[in-house]
Structure 1
Amino acid sequence: MSNPRGKLARLGSRAVPRHTWKAEIEWYKQNFHGFLHISLLGPIIVIFLTAPYVIARQNTIIMAITWGIIGGFSITIGYHRLWAHRSFSACLGIRIALAVVGAAQNQWPILWWVKHHRAHHKYTDTDQDPYNATRGLLFSHIGWLLGLNENSWGPVDVSDLKKDPVVVWQARLYWPIVITVGILLPGAIAHYGWGDWKGGILYAGLARIIITQHITFLINSVAHAPWAGTQPYSASTTARNIPLLAILTLGEANHNFHHVFPADYRNGVNWNEPDFSRWIIWLWGRLGWANDLNIASPFEIERARSNQLKGRTERQRDSHEDIQALSKLPQISWEDFRKRSDDANNLTCISGVIYDVADFMDDHPGGRDLIQQSLGKDATDLYHGSHLHSSHADDILKGLQVFILEDSGH
């Protein structure tokens, strides 16, 4: 049987992977992705070559900025909070609008975007994280796309998206939407509005797409950089809160909060954690266009913040108290655990401790499917292996303890 004390000892034991420049160059050589190079770098070259001959008119620039902000919200609210994390639900009209405007930002279909983002949360800062921040700023910002290798991503469940007709429809018509809504529509508006179709296509189309892309990419790179921001909720990942970047990214750079509470429709709750996307979702909720707005309890938020503020001595004392609490749990055999699990289908074992996860399955950031894989099994490797859980996650787990395995083992 696993030692229950192992739950406390193993946290933080996993080594951070190291990547040399030689290894990175070899990675890009082996995984060079020509289409993504053209898609990401080609428009920059076009703008550089043609901008000197196309005057940037005031109306066109205002439209580009406005269209860029609307497009940014389609990513933060739609791609990210609605589809990637299911932090709220929305009516059909809102979902279609978010899917169309989101596609016009050329950040690829919802299904693909969510796949890499869920892998990022499930395998943060490991080699199975698509934009692993431990590989440096270049890789986490854009290198993971220029040297794309989807086989290196950790597996995730996206079956819920494959059942969403809006997601399926958007994937099928993705490129026609990018061209018509993302590039031609701004050109048409500028042409019929003030006779500037070239500027509309160049600045409100191509340039706006590039800028929106890289603002989103800043969340993957700068919001995980060791020299940036703060970690008020957890230091178990590289994610950080950066208020100024949060303004630019419409709330997304309150990233330390988000990694601890990914299912919360808000990315921050304090005045110094600005989140414009949150208030739009809240307004839609008041209007009846969005519902099931998921929030973390104030108690859990404060507990995460408190744990992060604790000193080393306090954490050691808590570890001792945890071990004492484990010793007071009723003991059961492995056979009894399996029988109880078969009867109720709600128990899992981690490091010799049995947890009742019935009420937590729908709230788990990795999805209900991930927990279901562990029911009736020893999930020690699953919990401690691919993702280094935060102290907040450990606190939640403590509240689910019901038994401890007998020393006879299994």
Structure 2
Amino acid sequence: MTIGHAIVGGFSITIGYHRLWSHRSFQACIGIRILLAAFGAGEVQWPILWWVKHHRAHHTYTDTDQDPSNAKRGLLFSHIGWLLGLNEAAWGPADVSDLEDDPVVIWQQRLYYPILVVVGFLLPTTVAYYGWNDWKGGLLYGGLTRVVVTQQITFLNNSVAHASWAGSQPYSTKTTARNVRFLSFLNLGEGNHNFHHTFPVDYRSGVEWREPNVSRWVIWLWGKLGLAFDLKTVSPREIERARLIQKRGGIYQRLYYNEHNTQSLSQLPRITWDEYRSRSKCGNLLVSIGGAVYDVAGFMDEHPGGRDLIQKFIGKDATESYYGHHLHSPDAEGILERLCVSRLADDLH
């Protein structure tokens, strides 16, 4: 019973809190969302809104002082120290407004503690009492012990999966995130952390057949059954490009993108800064980065940091923000390449 409850609760974090609500990697029917929210509360890892806020900040400001679990402050801090000395004021801003329209998220937020007590502790206690007349064992092992163990397994993704001595970095070295295979056995597929930080919107969180990733296949099965939809993936071309760039090293990566971006921009139509501003004011969702103009209308809800971070740069120059606040992954560069629609004239603002 304890193991079963831990697995279901683990899925509520890996599939629900993480891939569904934090990254919007897929959508699910309301029944699935209610189950994930209820068992997620039973894991005692705080409400969805709080969890998503800290996780999006972690992705947006990885390895900086604005990262809630900044791995560069040491293993103990990234594992649990950031919680013991909780200082939310130091976190970088993260937008969760998209979740405020989800009735399941709001329901869990309002009734978090009653749900926590019922699902996290009364449920295993009641099952043990009526099943084999051992309510104390149900409370101790199915409740308290399970919560402590599953919390520590979750925290390993903040610590060990960002430790310099662990795992590998086949996709990117822009952050400390690493693929640590043995973690995926413990946390139901979340150990492919280098892949995840490189391609955060991909629901699979890993593509290698030898990588244990039960959460991926549960989502895939739900998709086949019609319980989940809009499963987002990154193209094999983008994945292989990231792998190749990483294999050849950082210098090649900079040269590749500089040359590629120069060639791509030269083929795009030119517009003036005033024309760019005018189109934006007329309702076009355009953002300027490094002299190029990107149509972000179809990407707003997929941005890992939330749509508001993009919204505030509509019709403005986001170059400093894009390159200054966060080391974007090769996947981000690939997305920009697809969204680019024009280039700005040289005599701009």
**TM-score, length basis structure 2:** 0.93
Contact 1:265–1:294 under 8 Å retained in 2 = yes
Q: Residue 118 in 1 paired to residue 53 in 2?
A: no
Q: Which amino acid aligns with 1:294?
A: K
1:265 matched to 2:203? The reply is yes
Aligned match for 2:295, one of 356, 364, 370: 356
2:330 is aligned to 391
Structure exhibiting the larger radius of gyration computed from Cα positions: 1
Does the 8 Å CA contact 1:96/1:166 hold for their aligned counterparts?
Answer: yes
The alignment partner of 2:334 has SS state of helix
Q: CA separation of 1:314/1:242 partners in 2, compared to 1, >3 Å: closer, same or farther?
A: same
Q: Tell me the distance in 1 between the aligned counterparts of 2:267 and 2:219.
A: 45
Alignment partner of 1:221: what SS?
A: helix
Take 1:376 and 1:317, find their aligned partners in 2: how far apart are those partners? 29
Q: For each residue in 1:27-86, what CA deviation from the matched residue of structure 2 results, as whole angstroms up to 9, or x when unmatched?
A: xxxxxxxxxxxxxxxxxxxxxxxxxxxxxxxxxxxx212211111111111111111111
Q: What is residue 238 of structure 1 aligned with on the other side?
A: 176
SS of residue in 1 equivalent to 2:37 = helix
CA displacement at 1:327 relative to structure 2? 5.2
Q: Which of the numbers 226, 229, 241 marks the counterpart of 1:291?
A: 229
Query: Which position in structure 2 is the counterpart of 1:173?
Result: 111
Report if the CA contact (8 A) 1:236-1:391 is conserved: no
Bigger drift between 313-322 and 289-298 goes to 313-322
Is the aligned partner of 1:276 residue 2:214?
Answer: yes
Letter matched to residue 143 of structure 2: G
Aligned position for 1:137: 75
- The residue type paired with residue 408 of structure 1 is D
Counterparts in 2 of 1:362 and 1:179: CA distance versus 1, 3 Å:
closer
Tell me, yes or no, if structure 1 residue 189 matches structure 2 residue 127: yes
Asked whether 1:202 is paired with 2:144, we answer no
Deviation at 1:324, TM superposition (A): 4.3
Which deviations, in whole Å up to 9, do the C-alpha atoms of 1:319-342 show, x marking residues without a partner? 552464245655443223222333
One-letter identity of the residue aligned with 1:235: T
Separation of aligned partners in 1, 2:50 and 2:307 = 20
Maintained 8 Å contact 2:78/2:159? yes
RMSD: 2.0
Q: Which residue of 1 aligns with 2:281?
A: 342
In 1, Cα distance between equivalents of 2:58 and 2:254:
30
CA contact (8 A) 1:133 1:140 kept: yes
Q: What is the aligned-residue identity percentage?
A: 65
Q: Which among 61, 79, 95 is matched to residue 33 of structure 2?
A: 95
Aligned residues: 348
Structure 1 residues 126 and 149, CA, compared in 2 at 3 Å: closer, same or farther? same
CA distance in 2, matches of 1:229, 1:251: 14
Q: Distance in 2 between matches of 1:263 and 1:102?
A: 21
**Local SS of the residue matching 2:280:** helix
Contact 1:348 1:355 in 2 (8 A): yes
Secondary structure, aligned partner of 1:182: helix
Which segment is superposed worse, 190-199 or 339-348?
A: 339-348
| CA deviation string 1:187-245 (max 9, x = no partner) | 22222222222111111110110000000000111111111111111111111111111
SS at match of 2:169: coil
| One-letter amino acid matched to 1:115 | K
Give the Cα–Cα distance (whole angstroms) in 2 for the partners of residues 352 and 332 of structure 1.
10
Gaps of 5+ in 1: 1-62
- Aligned partners of 2:88 and 2:239: how far apart in 1? 34
Counterparts of 1:295 and 1:398, CA distance in 2: 17
> Closer, same or farther in 2 for the Cα pair 1:319/1:183, shift >3 Å?
closer
Amino acid in the other structure paired with 1:338: R
Change (3 A) 1:162 1:248: same
CA distance in 1 between partners of 2:256 and 2:148 (Å): 48
Query: CA 1:334–1:370 in 2, change beyond 3 Å: closer, same or farther?
Result: same
Provide closer, same or farther for how the CA distance between residues 338 and 205 of structure 1 changes in structure 2, counting only shifts above 3 A. same
SS class of match (1:349): strand
Q: How much has 1:170 moved relative to structure 2?
A: 1.2
Partner of 1:12: none
Bigger drift between 299-308 and 275-284 goes to: 299-308
**Pair 1:369–1:274, CA change in 2 (3 A):** same
Give, in whole Å, the separation in 2 of the partners of 1:387 and 1:321: 22
Number of the residue aligned with 2:320? 381
Once residues 34 and 254 of structure 2 are traced to their aligned partners in structure 1, the CA distance between those partners, rounded to angstroms, is 51
Question: How much does 1:361 deviate?
Answer: 3.3
- 1:30-69 equivalences in 2 (<5 Å): 63-69=1-7
By how many angstroms is 1:127 displaced?
1.2
What secondary structure does 2:157 align onto? helix
Moved more, 338-347 or 251-260: 338-347
Give 1:398 deviation, angstroms.
3.4
Question: 1:243·1:272 contact (CA, 8 Å) conserved in 2?
Answer: no
Aligned mates of 1:135, 1:179 — CA distance in 2: 34
Once residues 198 and 360 of structure 1 are traced to their aligned partners in structure 2, the CA distance between those partners, rounded to angstroms, is 50
Going from structure 1 to structure 2, the CA distance change for 1:312 and 1:173 (only over 3 Å counts) comes to: closer
